[in-house]
C-alpha cells in the first residue's frame, strides 16, 4: 500500500499515464491512418522535439548539479549527470537524422538510431539505478565529479564509435523493410528496464522517500510507452515516430518535475515550514525580540504580547531607543549592546519602563548578529518582562525585614523579661520585706515611701507582663480568657 505522502502525486501521475496508455493501445489496435505513413517536412518537427528534449535534459542537469545543498542526494547526482549525457546524445541524434546536414560525418538512419539507442539506454540505466539504490544517501563534491566524468567518458566513447567507427555497430534500419531485429530487441530491452524501474519505484513508495518518486514513476512509464512506438514505425517520418517523440518529451517533463521539485521547490517548502515553526515558537515565547543597529535604531520588532511594548511596532521601526525611552533606560540598553559588541553576548541588564498599565521591569539578553563587527552590525535583543519576579523579590525583602524586626522584638522582650522583670521582682520583694519586718519600727513618712515604691514596682511589673502577653498573642503562642 502506498504511503500517504505519495498518494496525491501518484494519482496525478497515474491519470496522465492512463491517458497515454490509451493512446498507445489505440495505436496498436488501429491501423495507421492513410496519409500519415509519411509526414511531410518531418525534419524540422523532429528537430524541434529533440531540441525540447535536449533543453529539458540540460535543465535536469542544471537543477540537480546546482542544488542548494553541498551534500547532494545520490539519486539527484545520478540523474543530473546521466541526463547531461542523454542531452548530448539526443543533440547528436537530432543532427544525425535523415535530411540534416553532415554532422562531422554524413547523416543517416543508422547513425541517428545509434545515438538514439545510446541515449535511451543511458536514461533507462540511470533511472533503474536510482530505483535500485537505497534512498537518502548523499554524494560529496568529489563524488559528483566522479559521476560526471564517468558519464562524459561514456558519451565521448559513443561519439567516437558512432562517428568514426560505425561499422562496429550492428545494422538497425533497412530502407524498404524497416527496423532490424537488433533495433527492436534493443527497444524491448529498454522497455523492460523502464518497467523494472517503475516496479521498484512503486515498491519503494510503500514508505516515505526523500524524493518525488511519483514523478519518477511517471517518467519511466512514459519512457516505456515511448519506446513501444519506436518498435512500430516503418519509416523514419511516420506518425509512430512522431508520437514516440512526443511521449519522450512528456517523460522528460515528468523527470524534470521530479528533480525540480526536490532541488528547487522542496527547499523553499522546507524554508517556509521552518519560518512557520519559527513564528510559532516566537509567538509562544513571552519575550520581546528586537533587532537593533549600532545606533540603537529599531529594524525589527516581534512580541506575542503587544502590551509589553513601549509603543506599537509600526511606531518603533526606524526610531532609536533614545527617541522612545528615557535617557537613563536607553543608557542601560546601549551599555548591554556595547558589551555584546566586544564579547558577542550580554545578559542580565535590567531596566524599568513606564507602560500603559504601569511600571514594568525588563531583563535584557543581547547577542551580536553575525560574526563580523562593523558599521552594519546588528544586535538581537530579547527583553523579558520580569515585573512579577521583581514584585516577588520585593515581597521577599519585606518578609525578611519583618522577620528581622520580629527577631529584634523578641530579643528586646527577652531582655525586658530578664533584665527588667528580674530586678523589679527583687525591688518589690525587698519593699514587701521592709514593710513586714519594720512594722511599728518605721516612721510614718518612711513607711509611706516604701509603700509608694511597692505600688510603683507592682504597676511597672503589671505593664511588663501585659506587654509580654500581647506579644505572645501576636505570635499565636497565647490566647485570651474571658
Smallest CA-to-CA distance from 7 within 199, 209, 196 is with 209
363 and 415 share one domain: no
Host H or E run for residue 343:
helix 327-343
Domain identity same for 354 and 414: no
What is the mean pLDDT of the segment spanning 107-136?
Answer: 86
The pLDDT confidence band at residue 121, using thresholds 50, 70 and 90, is very high
Q: What is the CATH number of the domain that holds 319?
A: 3.30.450.20
Place of cell 531540441: 51
Q: Give the span between the Cα atoms of 254 and 475, in whole angstroms.
A: 86
What does the alpha-carbon distance between residue 154 and residue 89 come to, in Å, rounded to a whole number? 10
- Find the mean pLDDT for residues 365-379: 76
Residue 266 has pLDDT above 70, yes or no: no
Gap between the Cα atoms of 471 and 478, Å rounded: 9
Look at residue 187 and tell me whether its pLDDT is greater than 80.
yes
* Residues counted in the chain: 482
Q: Is residue 481 part of a domain?
A: no
- pLDDT for 349 beyond 60: yes
Contact indicator for 87, 62 with CB cutoff of 8 Å? no
Domain of residue 159, residue span = 4-280
In a domain, 482, yes or no: no
pLDDT at 204 over 60: yes
The answer on 219 and 317 residing in a single domain is no
DSSP letters spanning 59-108: HHHHHHHT-S-SSEEHHHHHHHHHHHHHHHHHHHHHHHSTTSPPBSB---
For position 68, which CATH number holds?
Answer: 1.20.1070
Mean pLDDT over 40-45 rounds to 78
| Domain-embedded: residue 28 | yes
pLDDT at 252 over 70: yes
Last residue of a domain, one of 250, 280, 310: 280
Angstrom CA distances, 174 to 177, 460, 470, stand at: 6, 140, 126
Number of structural domains in the chain: 3
| Residue 234 confidence (pLDDT) | 59
The reported pLDDT for the residue numbered 373 is: 65
| Residue 213 belongs to a domain | yes
At 359, the pLDDT band (50, 70, 90 cuts) reads: confident
Q: Identify the top-confidence range among 126-140, 144-158, 366-380, 458-472.
A: 144-158
Rounded Cα distance between 310 and 312, Å, is 7
Looking at the fold, whether 182 and 72 belong to one and the same domain comes out as: yes
Same domain, 148 and 257: yes
Residue 16 burial (CB count, 10 A): 15
- Both 368 and 251 in one domain: the answer is no
Please, which pLDDT band fits residue 404 given cuts at 50, 70 and 90? Answer: confident
Calpha distance 79→27 (Å, rounded): 31
| 132 and 256 in a common domain | yes
For range 433-451, the mean pLDDT: 71
Domain end residue (candidates: 336, 354, 385) = 385
Calculate the average pLDDT of the chain.
79
Query: Given a cut of 50, is residue 85 above it in pLDDT?
Result: yes
308-330 confidence digits (pLDDT tens): 777 888 888 888 888 888 888 88
H or E, element range at 1: none
- Note whether 239 and 354 are same-domain residues: no
> Residue 44 pLDDT > 80, yes or no?
yes
Each as own residue / partner, the long-range contacts of residues 10-17 (CB below 8 Å, 24 or more positions apart, any chain) are 10/205, 10/214, 10/217, 12/214, 13/214, 13/215, 13/217, 13/218, 13/221, 13/254, 14/218, 16/218, 16/222, 16/250, 17/218, 17/221, 17/222
**Residue with the three cell numbers 533614545:** 322
Look at residue 44 and tell me if it is in a domain.
Answer: yes
User: 317, 299 in Cβ contact below 8 A?
Assistant: yes
* 290: nearest Cα among 329, 323, 333, 339: 333
What distance in Å separates the CA atoms of residue 471 and residue 465, rounded to the nearest whole number? 10
Res 72: pLDDT: 64
CATH of the domain at 414: 1.10.287.130
Per-residue pLDDT at 482: 44
Examine the domain organization and report whether 33 and 129 are in the same domain: yes
Q: Same structural domain for residues 153 and 94?
A: yes
**Position 122 pLDDT exceeds 90:** yes
Q: Among residues of the chain, what percentage have pLDDT more than 90?
A: 7
Predicted confidence (pLDDT) at residue 36 exceeds the cutoff of 60: no
- Alpha carbon of residue 298 to chain centroid: 26
The reply to whether 462 and 380 lie within a common domain is no
Q: Taking 50 as the threshold, does the pLDDT of residue 11 lie above it? A: yes
Indicate the pLDDT class of residue 30, thresholds 50, 70 and 90. low
Are 157 and 298 found together in one domain?
Answer: no
Q: Which residue has the cell 515565547?
A: 285
How much of the chain, in percent, has pLDDT values that exceed 70?
82
Domain presence at residue 392: no
Please give the average per-residue pLDDT across 172-187, as a whole number. 80
Q: Which of 280, 314, 329 is the last residue of a domain?
A: 280
pLDDT at 474: 62
Amino acid at each position: 500500500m502506498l504511503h500517504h505522502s505519495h498518494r496525491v502525486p501518484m494519482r496525478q501521475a497515474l491519470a496522465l499515464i492512463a491517458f497515454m496508455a490509451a493512446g498507445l493501445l489505440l495505436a496498436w489496435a488501429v491501423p495507421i491512418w492513410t496519409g500519415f505513413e509519411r509526414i511531410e517536412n518531418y525534419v524540422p518537427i523532429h528537430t524541434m522535439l529533440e531540441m525540447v528534449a535536449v533543453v529539458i535534459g540540460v535543465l535536469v542537469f542544471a537543477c540537480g548539479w546546482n542544488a542548494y545543498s553541498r551534500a547532494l542526494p545520490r539519486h539527484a547526482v545520478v540523474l543530473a549527470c546521466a541526463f547531461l549525457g542523454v542531452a548530448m546524445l539526443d543533440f547528436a541524434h537530432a543532427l544525425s537524422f535523415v535530411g540534416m546536414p553532415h554532422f562531422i560525418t554524413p547523416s543517416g538512419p543508422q547513425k541517428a538510431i545509434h545515438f538514439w539507442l545510446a541515449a535511451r539506454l543511458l536514461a533507462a540505466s540511470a533511472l533503474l539505478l536510482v530505483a535500485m539504490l537505497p534512498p537518502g544517501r548523499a554524494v560529496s563534491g568529489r563524488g559528483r565529479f566522479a559521476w560526471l566524468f564517468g558519464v562524459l567518458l561514456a558519451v565521448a566513447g559513443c561519439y567516437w564509435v558512432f562517428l568514426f567507427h560505425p561499422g562496429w555497430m550492428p545494422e538497425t534500419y533497412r530502407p524498404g523493410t524497416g527496423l532490424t531485429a537488433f533495433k527492436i530487441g534493443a527497444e524491448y530491452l529498454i522497455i523492460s528496464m523502464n518497467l523494472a524501474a517503475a516496479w521498484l519505484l512503486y515498491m519503494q513508495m510503500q514508505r516515505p522517500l526523500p524524493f518525488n518518486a511519483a514523478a519518477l514513476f511517471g517518467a519511466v512509464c512514459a519512457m516505456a510507452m515511448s519506446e513501444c512506438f519506436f518498435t512500430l514505425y516503418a519509416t523514419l517520418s511516420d506518425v509512430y515516430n512522431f508520437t514516440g517523440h512526443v511521449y519522450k518529451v512528456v517523460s522528460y517533463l515528468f523527470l524534470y518535475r521530479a528533480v525540480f521539485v526536490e532541488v528547487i521547490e522542496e527547499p523553499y517548502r522546507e524554508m517556509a515550514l521552518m519560518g512557520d515553526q519559527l513564528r510559532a515558537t516566537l509567538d509562544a515565547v513571552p519575550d520581546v525580540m528586537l533587532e537593533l543597529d549600532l545606533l540603537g535604531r529599531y529594524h525589527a520588532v516581534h512580541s506575542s504580547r503587544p502590551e509589553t511594548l513601549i509603543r506599537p511596532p509600526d511606531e518603533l521601526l526606524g526610531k532609536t531607543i533614545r527617541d522612545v525611552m528615557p535617557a537613563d533606560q536607553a543608557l542601560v540598553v546601549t551599555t548591554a549592546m556595547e558589551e555584546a559588541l566586544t564579547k558577542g553576548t550580554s545578559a542580565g541588564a535590567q531596566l524599568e519602563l513606564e507602560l500603559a498599565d504601569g511600571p514594568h521591569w525588563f531583563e535584557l539578553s543581547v547577542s551580536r548578529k553575525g560574526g563580523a563587527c562593523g558599521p552594519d552590525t546588528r544586535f538581537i535583543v530579547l527583553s523579558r518582562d520580569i515585573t512579577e519576579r521583581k514584585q516577588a523579590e520585593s515581597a521577599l525583602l519585606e518578609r525578611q525585614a519583618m522577620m528581622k524586626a520580629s527577631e529584634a522584638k523578641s530579643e528586646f522582650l527577652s531582655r525586658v523579661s530578664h533584665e527588667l522583670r528580674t530586678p523589679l521582682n527583687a525591688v518589690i520583694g525587698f519593699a514587701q520585706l521592709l514593710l513586714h519586718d519594720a512594722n511599728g519600727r518605721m516612721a510614718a513618712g518612711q513607711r509611706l515611701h516604701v509603700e509608694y515604691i511597692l505600688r510603683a514596682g507592682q504597676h511597672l511589673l503589671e505593664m511588663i507582663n501585659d506587654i509580654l502577653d500581647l506579644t505572645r498573642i501576636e505570635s499565636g503562642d497565647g490566647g485570651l480568657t474571658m
